[in-house]
Amino acid sequence: MSVLVVVECDKGEVKKSSLEVASYGAQVAQALGTTATAIAVGEASEASLASLGEQGISKVLYDNEARLKEFVNGAYTKLIAAAAEQEQAQVIVLANSNIGTSVGSRLAVRLQASLATNVVELPRVEGGNFIVKRGAYSGKAFSDVVLLNDRKIIAVKKNSIEALHNAGQTAQVQSFSAQLADTDFADAPKQVIMQEQTGGVPLPEADKVVSGGRGMKGPENWHLIEDLAKALGAATACSKPVSDVDWRPHHEHVGQTGITVSPNLYIACGISGAIQHLAGVNSSKVIVVINKDPEAPFFKAADYGIVGDVFDVLPKLTQAVKELG
């Protein structure tokens, strides 16, 4: 079985989630006694693609068609399918992202492949069965899934595997063309309104997140969240009620109906912990809750809790982080 890894790129760089996916694919390839090839999508630089060798990728295919710099479902599906056919890939690995889940289902139909999303561990083979473990019910449970078809597609959940870093290793970057036609871009949006984030860390890719709720009492106090986030090198986020009243933009809303995050550290400030919010953050490795209400539901899900007023705690915590350096 050869392994094909789908690598998402943005502004010339490989996304962090795709570094994890590349490492996952390389380890799958090693277990199967083969090599891992990547197909890059989005805007990438040759240097960033070559650096995927550090994650164990031997070769990277890249189609420099200008229209592929932005996500187009049909075109991306045809591109990845063409790469899979050329490389005779039996296992395709991608991120459990908006792009990955959208393309994954189409690929499964086109390639007649088994598809498993939200995968959290490397696969195992038992009794001839190819088995993967995936999260279910917003991370509250796990299930083992047997992928029966000859071709298998695995969408890996962010932060579920450590990215490898074999310094000095480089991948061979090769030009690739899927011979895309205008019809392959038929589902491209006719008009794109971009709201580009300026400064800070993009929320979906963040290792650390500082989030605020109604306990912040108003947008004029949000500098306390931003100060701590800046000191930590973290992204900022908010609860749904905060975005609903326009204290913060909707692209910062974390929860079941917003963005789902899986950072190493999630700090919740003045958030009570409604079930819908927990569904979007419960995959975080460490959750810290700051709330003056000792009965706040969020404390039940927290690894660490501080019972106190956010207006007293946050400045002291920010200062402590700065002193540590």
CA atoms of 191 and 189, how far apart (whole Å): 5
Q: For residues 140 and 236, what is the distance between their CA atoms, to the nearest angstrom?
A: 25
The annotation status of 106 as a binding-site residue, yes or no, is no
Q: What are phi and psi of 55, to 5 degrees?
A: -95, 0
Give φ, ψ of 102 to 5 degrees. Answer: -70, -45
> Is 273 annotated for ligand binding?
yes
- By the 8 A CB rule, do 289 and 268 touch? yes
Beta strands in the chain, from DSSP E residues, in sequence order: 2-14, 36-44, 59-62, 89-95, 114-119, 124-126, 129-136, 141-146, 152-156, 172-175, 208-212, 235-238, 265-269, 286-291, 304-307
- C-alpha distances (whole Å) from 322 to each of 201, 212, 317 are 18, 20, 9
Whether residue 270 is annotated as binding a ligand: the answer is yes
Residue with tokens 């890719």: 205
Known binder of ligand: residue 276?
Answer: yes
Which letter does DSSP use for residue 88 in this model?
Answer: T
Annotated binding residue 225: no
Quick one: CA torsion of 82, 93, 43, 14, rounded to 10 degrees?
A: -150
Q: Residue 53 annotated as binding? A: no
Q: Which residues are annotated as a binding site?
A: 214, 270-277, 291
Q: Which residues are annotated as a binding site for FAD?
A: 214, 270-277, 291
